Chain A
Amino acid sequence: MKRSLRLLLLLIPVWFCTTALPAFFPLSDSMISSAAAQEWKTEFDDVCRKTTDAMALSKDELKLLLARCDKLRTVMGTLDETEKKVYLKRLKLCQELFAFVLESKEKQ
């Protein structure tokens, strides 16, 4: 009995955080879109900062980066026109470098 009471006491804060709080204070659209924006930007920065290491990466790592670029392109396609214009161009530069290095490594 004591054990189940303890379990119940543990579950109350979990329920509060996952169900009650969002019900009382729902996330606004702008908060959701800002979180989504943050997500693609983090991924974008992480992919693009690897260009300076391209020559040191293995073929598998480069292939993985190319796949991440493809995935990012789809997500970034939904951005507003101004952001899309700038960031997609930069993504293209990164992707082309990875493809170029991969191709040179495969020819070696």
Chain B
Amino acid sequence: MPYKNGSAIISGIVLGCLIGIFVPMASYGHWTLPPLAPPAEYGNILINRTSERNGVKPVTFSHWIHRQEATCRVCHFELEFNMKVNTTEITEKMNKAGLYCGAASCHDGKAAFGHEKPHCEKCHNGNISYGKEKFAEVAARLPRSNYGNKIDWAKARNKRLIIPLHFLTVKPSKDVKFTSKLKLDAEWPNIPPAVFPHKSHIQWLDCNNCHPDIFNIKKKTTKHFEMERMLKGEFCGVCHLNVAFPLQDCGSCHPGMQSE
């Protein structure tokens, strides 16, 4: 009997070690991350809600071009572009009325080209890599990173190498003082926790870009706050799948973890 007990303990220890070794190993390769677009195309989208139905080519929109001019807050809060492509009912009439792309200080014909005839093809060209010839020049003068556009946009902004507008009309009342850093435990054992710094996100976004629609943790708990869901475009995946640095860059959120 004592012998049997001893064997069970040893088996338990061996099993524990195997789990301890293989689970984290498996977790690294567990996720099927979406393939990355070339740096000059990362974050580019084709907007085709009604374009082709109306006989024009889809609109190409490049985040890397626009991010140099305005923060995410300007478009995704002030100008009310949804985070998901083709869900915002942008029309030529609205643009010409000064809404969406046509807002004052944007494509109003003064700050940037307007909606008159010679400019149509600059947006309605259906070409996801439109403007890539300008990319090398932009990338050369900004700090490098290993993923996405291979540009460290946060560092570029902090060093004032780019000075994007943070508001058009709705000026934030004062600098956001809420700068807490959250530690988020990983769902897999031995994977270091993720760190979420409010400060670097607030430099680009408004609080209501994320709360309560994307993150309503106090209400819904963290039960479903999982990588699987992020890969489906929920939570951090709303931005960090296609636009902000991609999920392949594990170490940027999970310090202590090697990136893919």
Cα A49 to Cα B77 with chains together (Å): 11
Contact A56 B170 (CB under 8 A): no
Chain B min CB distance to A56 (Å) = 6
Given contacts A93-B77, A104-B218, A107-B218, contact A49 B93 (CB under 8 A): no
| In the complex, B213 has a CB within 8 A of chain A | yes
Contact A97 B212 (CB under 8 A): yes
| In the complex, B6 has a CB within 8 A of chain A | no
Given contacts A82-B94, A100-B212, contact A56 B206 (CB under 8 A): no
| In the complex, B112 has a CB within 8 A of chain A | no
Chain A min CB distance to B203 (Å) = 11
Partner-binding segment picked from A5-13, A32-40, A84-92: A84-92
Chain B contacts for A48, CB-based, 8 A: 170
Partner-binding segment picked from B13-21, B55-63, B173-181, B245-253: B173-181
| Interface residue total, chain B, C-beta cutoff 8 A | 30
Chain B contacts for A76, CB-based, 8 A: none
Contact A52 B202 (CB under 8 A): yes
Chain B: interface secondary structure? loop
Contact A96 B77 (CB under 8 A): no
| In the complex, B138 has a CB within 8 A of chain A | no
**Binary contact track B192-218/A, C-beta < 8 Å → 1, others 0:** 000000000010001111011100101
Given contacts A49-B171, A100-B211, contact A82 B77 (CB under 8 A): no
Chain B contacts for A107, CB-based, 8 A: 218
Contact A82 B99 (CB under 8 A): yes
* Chain A residues close to B by CB (< 8 Å): 45, 48-56, 82-83, 85-86, 89-90, 93-94, 96-97, 99-101, 103-104, 107
User: Can you list 7 A-B pairs with a CB-CB distance of less than 8 A?
Assistant: A45-B171, A55-B207, A82-B93, A82-B94, A85-B89, A90-B77, A103-B219
- What 5 A-B pairs are tightest by C-beta distance, nearest first? A100-B212, A97-B208, A52-B172, A55-B178, A93-B208
